[in-house]
A and B are shown apart, each in its own frame.
Chain A
Amino acid sequence: MRGMSKTTSENVICTFCASGCDDLEIRHDARDIDSARNGCAISISRFTSVKENRILKPLVRTRRTLRPTTYARAIDRAARILSKAKYPLLYGWSQTSCEAISKGVELAELVGGLIDNTTTSCHGPTILGLQDAGEATCTLGEVRHSADLIIYWGCNPIHSHPHHTTRFTIFSKGRFRKARKERRLIVVDVRRTDTAKLADRFIQVQPNRDYELLTALRTAVNGEELEQDSIAGVPREVIEELADMMVECEFGALFFGLGLTMTAGKHRNAEAALSLVRDLNYATKFVVIPMRGWFNVTGANEVSTWQTGYPFAVDLTQGYPRFNPGDTSAVDALARGEVDAALVVASDPVSHFPKAAVKHLLKIPIVTVEPKRTPTSEASEVVIPSAIIGIEATGTIYRIDGVPLEARKVIDPPAGVRPDVEILDAIIKRTKSLGVRR
């Protein structure tokens, strides 16, 4: 076929997790991907399954069934739903570009809504913790070159961020740490995970008791005596030995995951972890990087903060931003039955929110902007298909450590399918032309 010559794109950035691996080689023509190399198993699946389960036409619900329509009609219906609503929720944002998120915040302000991103059910507690305790941090490159002690706490990167260990930590080749034997790995988890199997020391903490263990470690790091024989299932001598390993390293890096943010204590666990790292800096060099999940969840926080002053859970109904997680957060506002319409961009809350929140979500009109079919798209009033960032559209994303990257387009989206940023811009324009109540 004409114009269908194969080519290999190098240094392609992966848009699955927030590790931002930028060494992929994608063999493709203008429309299809043949093969993906260098990526982890998830990345290869993401690139080679790009065409599967796609939404190809905008859909609007008429007489209880989703029926194909035009972009113009779908955008009109979306704008009408959002401008009619008293308290619309604009949710998702972690799997799209910063440019699209920026439009989302503008739309939330225009319609007087609540804008929240998936941070809320991920590392939201971490952000609350770092607002209290601060964050001694660095880029992943510095960890790769210099760190001689790595700690994974409540995270399992072999499953969630599969190339994190090879690109940035124990198996990476840095300038000053060249081999596995020059680094030590501590893993703290409730299960002996596949990551824990690689560790020099594995600490099995009892569930929901991380806060106690973190506090005990802080006590030991600060040279105080521990009075109990065992804390959170870990013997005192082991805690003291861990504290010594931390204090005696040259450059330590703590990566923590949802094992801290989703369990009892939530933001207090994050604050304890961040405070432990702060204390360690009196003795040595130590940094902390939360293991953010989706490829642009960090970008969602950045853009939301630039435009509203707050990283997530921002209520714009009063004409000025309010941030009060527990009140202005998606799950809470849904579970209390307060929101009366939802715009979901690149996310699937019907699958992933607890039942009590989903029950209300399924009662209100949902507009979904999403490349692939999900339970949320199936339950929507309006479904607008979008191009996949980093594969079919170019956009800015933020890596786990806050480094912005340009995730470039590799192939064309399916015929007629548009990028999120264009769709949101069109919804904004249509909403303005309808005349906004506020």
Chain B
Amino acid sequence: MSRIEVTVISGRSLSQAQSRERGKFSDEYARSVAVCELDPDDMNELGAMEGENVRVTTGFGQVIVRAAVSKQAPHRRIAFVPYGAWASMLFDASTHTSGMPTLKGLKAIIERAPEAKVATLQEITNMKAE
């Protein structure tokens, strides 16, 4: 299958927090944050290889990130993208009168995108400006 439907959630990860301290413009930060962790069975179904790029699309935006086999599985049909500029391309600004945007629990499509490039932090900021 070249695409799967998932629920996408964002959150803190240890490597995201550690690399943030070293600097948001570091390669290490991009490697820890521009990633989508998938359940191993979902990964197989999608036919994606570890480290291959995928396109994540929600009703609010899309982003290219690297696919990784989740070490916190099972979580069939749930994709985890750590907090960061890449994840925030996907989320709904509507807060339902709470002030809180929806950063977890949105429906998303994941497609293989081995040819597509992961944007740099600078490019993501430009995309947000468009």
Contacts and interface: CB of A to CB of B under 8 A. Distances in A.
Interface of A: 16, 41-42, 45-46, 49, 52-53, 116, 120-122, 124-125, 128, 156, 158-160, 162, 190-194, 196, 204, 207-208, 258-259, 261-264, 266-267, 293, 312-313, 325-327, 329-332, 334-335, 348, 350-359, 362-363, 372-375, 378-379
Given A358-B128, A375-B125, 14 more contacts: A53-B22, A121-B103, A156-B12, A159-B13, A192-B73, A196-B72, A326-B97, A331-B100, A335-B94, A351-B121, A354-B91, A355-B127, A372-B24, A375-B124
B2 interface: no
B14 interface: yes
17 contacts: A121-B103, A190-B9, A191-B72, A263-B105, A325-B98, A326-B97, A326-B99, A330-B99, A353-B88, A354-B92, A355-B60, A355-B127, A358-B128, A359-B128, A362-B128, A372-B23, A375-B125
Contacts of A375: 24, 85, 121-122, 124-125
A351 B85 contact: yes
B116 interface: no
A125 B128 contact: no
Interface in B1-57: 7, 9-14, 17-19, 21-26
Contacts, number: 199
Contacts of A348: 24
A141 B76 CA distance: 37
B95 A325 contact: yes
Interface residues of B, number: 54
A352 B88 contact: yes
A156 B11 contact: yes
B117 interface: no
B93 A357 contact: yes
A207 B7 contact: yes
A325 B99 contact: yes
Ranked nearest first, the 6 interchain pairs of A and B with the lowest CB-CB distance are A329-B99, A53-B23, A326-B97, A325-B99, A356-B93, A191-B75
A359 B127 CA distance: 9
Contacts of B94: 335
Interface string B88-117: 110111111111111111000000000000
A124 B100 contact: yes
B11 A258 contact: yes
A49 B23 contact: yes
B25 to A, nearest CB: 6
B78 A159 contact: no
Nearest to A312: B99
Nearest to A330: B99
